[in-house]
Structure 1
Amino acid sequence: MKRLFKFILNTIPRPILIKVSFWVRPLISFILKGSTYTDPIDGKSFSSFLPYGYGSQRPNALSPSTLSLERHRLLWLYLKNETDFFTTPKKVLHIAPEQCFLKLFKQQENLDYTTADLHSPIADVKADICNLPFENNTYDVVLCNHVLEHIEDDKKAMSELFRVLKPNGMGIFQIPQELDREKTYEDFTITLPEERAKHFGQYDHVRIYGRDYFNRLRKVGFTVNEIDYSKKLTNEMVKKYCLVKGEILPVCFK
């Protein structure tokens, strides 16, 4: 199964994967029904989660029901337990919306929820993150997860996220990150997909972020809280929800 998922991820374009997943998900959820692992987003439990990864496959990474990954489940728990995201009226912008959140966020009566992306078939607005078609100081919350590693001019993209966020607004901008790496590794002369996969871990990534990622955000104006939310969860919860211990949530404020 690992080889099959690796082949699918590396050969089928993401917009097509998104469309196909709506039909495949119910069948996989039924096959893997059980009680060992639980997706906190919808509360459903399974005998196992699915493997996931463009390079080496991570076991029990992808939830069969919501298609959430470890980072999505961590973000959900943080928003639910530590913020008023689900209870207070908010104007929200979600860049490159994830399937595991889309329907649930749209159903939240307290959220004025807009999604945007240049290629995603499920986004409301077709938009370039380096030139967003929104007014200054528009949104209370901006979510943009695992996008910036695809963008060569990430400073411009960060500046746009800062521009459209309201003063005192909150942004969460997760990225794949190597915390044992002091400085971000990027080389824009590397353009072939197979070379990018070799250097950056995925065929469409242009860098590997190091610990200096947080300072990149600070340089465009954000106040950044580096939150290791897994520390607030028991080891049993980390295992049950299939999370990654030590993953940092970059929670930013304007």
Structure 2
Amino acid sequence: MLTTKQKADLGILFKIPNEIRLAYLRLKFAGDKVICPCCQSTFREFAPFSIWKKPNSWCVQCESLERHRALWMYLETKTDIYSKPLKLLHVAPEDMFFKRFEKEPNIEYYPADILPYLYRKGTKYLDLLSPDIPDNTFDVIICNHVFAYIEDDKTAMHNVYKMLKPGGWGILQVALDPTKAVTHEDLTITDPKERERIFGLNDHVRLYGLDYADKLKEAGFDVLIDDYTAEFSDEEIFKYGFWKGDPFYVVSKK
């Protein structure tokens, strides 16, 4: 799901309303070479994601990106999230997941964010630096592409750990550069253009490296790095519009 800012940027870029542009793109990319796992729509290919000009990236029906489609399939095929009663915390709740999770009869769904008005109605306020939620509350926590926005990510990770029940699990994704061993962070960089150049987005404060797993472990988690996309052929990678080599960081709490 695109953020409000990204949608605004795209609207400025094309100077036409987003829904009209989406309708045009659905016609432009009509076909059956790719399929979106999130909405089951088919296209000849996914549209480029204009902000970063990535090809085969953006579903112009449900607005999923690569990471959303991979996570959708991962949850269905690799987890028990839809098969037993559980309480789920979903931080920064992406729209396509919100719609599904709130309808699943086995899930007690708790969508939350520090800026809840940016998300669907029903999203609750939650500050990961000072959450007003008891420890050991949730069976599952999904928190994707959030920590890079938070200066004190160490505290945020530890608070996520505390909110997770013993025996619970979570998926905690971040923007990560697999060519870097160490996370690059410099809180003195405040200029938006410089942040975008160095960290990828103008409101990010770091770009994680391969030491991300160690950071999660320091917060208390057991960590499984699951390179899910390695199970797919190049043809399947194109068909579903995945990033290849973007593993899932699956955490658990003893």
Q: Do both share a fold (TM > 0.5)?
A: yes
The one-letter amino acid of 2:69's match is R
**2:71 matches 1:75:** yes
Q: Which runs of 5+ in 1 are unaligned?
A: 14-19
- Tell whether 2:41 aligns with 1:41: no
Paired residues for 1:1-254 under 5 Å: 9=6, 12=9, 25=22, 28-52=25-49, 54=51, 56-119=52-115, 120-122=118-120, 124-254=123-253
| Closer, same or farther: CA 167–21 of 1 in aligned 2, 3 Å | farther
CA contact (8 A) 2:140 2:164 kept: yes
Partner of 2:14: none
**Residues 10 and 208 (structure 1), Cα distance of their counterparts in 2 relative to 1, 3 Å cut:** farther
Structure 2 CA distance for aligned equivalents of residues 64 and 168 of structure 1: 38
**d(CA) in 2 for partners of 1:247 and 1:87?**
26
Residues 170 and 25 (structure 1), Cα distance of their counterparts in 2 relative to 1, 3 Å cut: farther
Judged with a 3 Å threshold, the aligned counterparts in structure 2 of structure 1 residues 250 and 188 are, in CA distance, closer, same or farther, namely: same
**For 1:29 and 1:66, how far apart are their aligned partners in 2?**
11
Distance 1:169 1:22 in 2: 39
In structure 1, distance between residues paired with 2:62 and 2:145: 17
Residue 25 of structure 1 and its aligned partner are, at CA, apart by 4.7
Label 1:183 to 1:189 Cα distance change in 2 as closer, same or farther (>3 A): same
Partners of 1:172 and 1:30 in 2: CA distance: 35
TM-score (normalised: structure 2): 0.88
The residue type paired with residue 121 of structure 1 is Y
Question: Number of aligned pairs?
Answer: 242
Q: CA deviation at 1:28?
A: 4.0
- What TM-score results when the alignment is normalised by the length of structure 1? 0.88
How far apart are residue 227 of structure 1 and its match? 0.6
Q: List runs of 5+ in structure 2 lacking aligned partners.
A: 11-16
- How far does residue 148 in structure 1 lie from its aligned partner after superposition? 0.6
RMSD, matched Cα = 2.3
3-state secondary structure, aligned to 1:107: coil
Aligned-pair identity in percent equals 37
CA distance in 1, matches of 2:48, 2:136: 40
